[in-house]
């Protein structure tokens, strides 16, 4: 006999832990599962307006990196990403903004193999890389700089950068020259422990380390977090420089306005869904985006 929770929308069922699948037609309930295998899609999109994927499907054709309808989360039965789409074309700098808890970090972690994708697909140059282990993603050209704890504080700047070439140690000199051209201060401070650097300099070490592997796409998770306004300006400038040096960049940012200013295209995520997508220039002028996501910053500008 049903206790009534199977009449709830699927999202509430998932949150209540009651069901991970829509109930079968005969009314029998399904026992809760430890973790849904990819084939059993947790359908918590019931009752939610479907996202128009037309622009994504057109733009993602031939993209360097694309994520299609990615569903992922941490707790069994609760999805944080709800069929999220993203694409990045060669040489683009693409921003991801959205409120706290929207799933921005989860999206880049899922692409980088740190959060298991329950359904959906990630491809790099058309090859399926969904749920590959992180070291294989690095070898294929994906770089990632996490939001926190992104340097080895006890190691020197140079040792941190060496860690970045652990898969190809012979390339160290050549990559070090590339990184030093973008971040000259790192060459000047190569013997200094990373833990003794300023927050802005530590971000340079973190980005530099990821660049040592010559990534085709660099995923940056909130590089400006915790920095003073002046250092935040520097980090945005650095991200632009990295992009100008030929590296495709995906940048998650809490500083939404700044992020849109430097992004060719950007995504607004909300509750793990694509809320708005467009050029940085269009989104920054969009009244809805301003009202919902740039409010206080817009007033301050």
Ligand X SMILES: Nc1ncnc2c1ncn2[C@@H]1O[C@H](COP(=O)(O)OP(=O)(O)OP(=O)(O)O)[C@@H](O)[C@H]1O
Task: Let me know: does 94 contact 247? Beta carbons within 8 Å.
Answer: no
Binding segment (CB under 5 A) for Mg ion, from list 46-54, 101-109, 240-248, 279-287: 101-109
**Considering the rule CB under 5 A, would residue 255 count as an interface residue with Mg ion?**
no
CA distances from 264 to 40, 103, 109, 152 (A): 36, 21, 22, 32
Cβ contacts of 264 within 8 Å, gap of 6 or more: 92, 93, 94, 279, 280
**Considering the rule CB under 6 A, would residue 101 count as an interface residue with ligand X?**
yes
Binding segment (CB under 6 A) for ligand X, from list 102-110, 118-126, 128-136, 171-179: 102-110
Nearer to Mg ion, 82 or 105 (CB): 105
* Interface with ligand X: number of residues (CB under 6 A): 12
Pairing of strands 117-124, 65-72: antiparallel
4: helix, strand or coil? coil
CA distances from 88 to 20, 36, 74 (A): 32, 29, 25
Helix, strand, coil share (%) of the chain residues, nearest 5:
40, 20, 40
**Considering the rule CB under 6 A, would residue 105 count as an interface residue with ligand X?**
yes
Nearer to ligand X, 102 or 111 (CB): 102
Residue 109 Cβ, how far from ligand X at the closest point, in Å?
A: 7
- Closest to 144 in 3D by CA, of 115, 185, 168, 174: 115
Identified binder of ligand X from the candidate list 14, 36, 67, 80, rule CB under 6 A: 80
**DSSP labels, 163-176:** HTTTT-GGGHHHHH
Question: Residue 266 binds which one of ligand X, Mg ion, none, with CB within 5 to 8 A depending on kind?
Answer: none
Per-residue interface string for the shown chain with Mg ion, residues 105-124, x marking contact by CB under 5 A? x-------------------
Binding segment (CB under 6 A) for ligand X, from list 95-103, 169-177, 190-198, 286-294: 95-103
Binding segment (CB under 6 A) for ligand X, from list 10-18, 20-28, 99-107, 256-264: 99-107
Residue 224 Cβ, how far from ligand X at the closest point, in Å?
A: 12
Per-residue interface string for the shown chain with ligand X, residues 184-223, x marking contact by CB under 6 A? ----------------------------------------
Binding segment (CB under 5 A) for Mg ion, from list 23-31, 102-110, 130-138, 198-206: 102-110
The structure tokens 């693409």 sit at 94
**Considering the rule CB under 6 A, would residue 259 count as an interface residue with ligand X?**
no
Number of CB atoms found within 10 A of residue 90's CB? 13
Dihedral (C-alpha) 215, 217, 218, 219: value to the nearest 10 degrees?
-140
Cα(48)–Cα(70) distance, integer angstroms: 16
Identified binder of ligand X from the candidate list 63, 67, 102, 266, rule CB under 6 A: 102
Nearer to Mg ion, 45 or 105 (CB): 105
Orientation of helix 229-244 relative to helix 172-182, angle to 10°: 130
Contacting positions for ligand X (CB under 6 A): 74-75, 80, 98, 100-106, 254
Contacting positions for Mg ion (CB under 5 A): 105
């Amino acid at each position: 006999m049903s206790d009534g929770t199977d009449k709830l929308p699927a999202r509430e069922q998932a949150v209540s832990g009651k069901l991970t699948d829509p109930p079968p037609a005969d009314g029998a309930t399904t026992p809760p599962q430890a973790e849904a295998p990819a084939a059993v899609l947790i359908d918590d999109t019931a009752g939610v307006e479907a996202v128009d994927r037309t622009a994504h499907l057109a733009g993602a054709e031939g993209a360097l990196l694309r994520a299609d309808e990615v569903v992922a989360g941490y707790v069994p039965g609760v999805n944080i990403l709800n069929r999220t789409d993203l694409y990045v074309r060669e040489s683009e700098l693409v921003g991801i903004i959205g409120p706290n808890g929207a799933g921005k970090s989860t999206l880049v972690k899922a692409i980088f193999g740190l959060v298991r994708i329950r359904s959906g697909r990630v491809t790099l140059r058309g090859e399926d890389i969904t749920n590959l282990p992180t070291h294989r993603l690095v070898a294929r050209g994906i770089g990632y700089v996490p939001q926190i704890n992104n340097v080895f504080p006890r190691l020197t700047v140079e040792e941190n950068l060496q860690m970045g070439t652990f898969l190809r140690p012979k390339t160290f000199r050549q990559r070090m020259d590339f990184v030093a051209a973008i971040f000259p201060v790192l060459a000047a401070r190569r013997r200094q422990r990373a833990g003794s650097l300023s927050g802005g300099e530590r971000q340079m070490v973190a980005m530099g380390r990821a660049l040592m592997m010559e990534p085709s796409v660099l995923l940056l998770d909130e590089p400006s977090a915790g920095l003073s306004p002046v250092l935040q300006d520097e980090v945005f400038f650095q991200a632009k420089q990295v992009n100008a040096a030929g590296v495709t960049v995906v940048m998650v940012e809490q500083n939404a306005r700044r992020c849109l200013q430097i992004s060719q295209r950007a995504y607004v995520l909300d509750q793990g869904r694509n809320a708005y997508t467009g050029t940085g220039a269009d989104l920054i002028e969009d009244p809805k985006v301003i009202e919902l996501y740039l409010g206080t910053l817009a007033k301050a500008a």
